[in-house]
Amino acid sequence: MRGTRAVVLLASLLLVIACAGAVMAGDIVTVPTANQLKAGEVDLATYYVDVDRDSLIAPLRPLGIDSVRIQTIYVGVTDNLEIDAHRYDVDAIGTETIWNATYLVQEEDAKHPAVVVGGRDLGRAYDSASYFISAAKTLNPPVGGPPTEPVFRLHLSMGTEDKTLFGEKRHQGLFGGIQVLLRPADPQIGLVALHDGQDLITGVTYTPKPDWPTFKAGTFGGHWWVGINKTYNSK
């Protein structure tokens, strides 16, 4: 992948967690999952990514990319349909926005995982979009109220090659990982470890109180990032 578009979409490679609340709702950006907002929920986030030039593919290293700033918005259109937009600002090179969507085909219950189908970069020509099916299952969901013990959620997806990520093969075949709500009580602390078919992604989230934003930080290969997000409910 060449040109400004390849550089700007470096950001979509580096984003990790958009939300990890008590019930682990929301999405994990870059790695498709079956996490999904409900109707009327809106998630806003901003991120800063420090770029390790040595971790970039050779054609991008001479461009002098040091950092990426990202803003995302997720909208639960219905209980089944979620649409999101990601805006990327790569140093002084330029900005770009891509559009993604997911559709919940099966809700999670005691016996079955949540299952969604979706696509990334859907505003482009057909040859730039990628598609996936994702499943997620909470191993020990809370019963009768908020969780009091750590909550574990497994993710498994299968997809086509994501061509937005400067030519490296991601999301092709099987990929996935685990989310952990390590401390369900206030303050909430979450962890994540995922593999997207190319790199290992790690992250930690911290929510001081239920109505506060979630603060987060992590790594993506040789890069590191920090961010903050807040989920709103119009109902």
CA proximity to 179, closest of 187, 170, 188, 171: 188
pLDDT at position 103:
97
Q: What residues are paired with 96 via a beta bridge?
A: 88
Q: φ and ψ at 4, to 5 degrees?
A: -60, -40
Q: What's the confidence (pLDDT) of residue 101? A: 95
Q: Give the residues of the chain that fall short of pLDDT 50.
A: 1-4, 7-8, 11-27, 166
- Which of 137, 138, 134 has its CA nearest to residue 103? 134
Using DSSP, how many helices (H) and how many strands (E) does the chain show? Answer: 2, 12
pLDDT of residue 82: 95
Residues in the chain: 235
Q: So what's the pLDDT on residue 8?
A: 47
Confidence (pTM): 0.84
C-alpha count within 13 angstroms, C-beta hemisphere, residue 35: 29
- What tens digit of pLDDT does each residue of 167-225 get? 567 888 999 999 998 888 889 899 989 888 888 888 999 999 888 999 999 988 888 88
- What are the backbone angles phi and psi of residue 124, rounded to the nearest 5°? -100, 180
Q: What is the pLDDT of residue 68?
A: 84
Check residue 23 and give its pLDDT: 39
Q: Containing domain of residue 84, as a range?
A: 3-233
**Per DSSP, which regions of 77-129 are E strands?**
81-90, 94-106, 114-120
Exposed/middle/buried for residue 182 (C-beta within 10 Å: 0-12, 13-18, 19+): middle
**For the chain, what is the domain count?**
1
3-state secondary structure (DSSP) of residue 170: coil
| CATH for 60 | 2.40.160.40
pLDDT value at residue 27: 47
Beta strands, E only, 110-222:
114-120, 130-138, 151-159, 173-183, 188-195, 200-207, 214-220
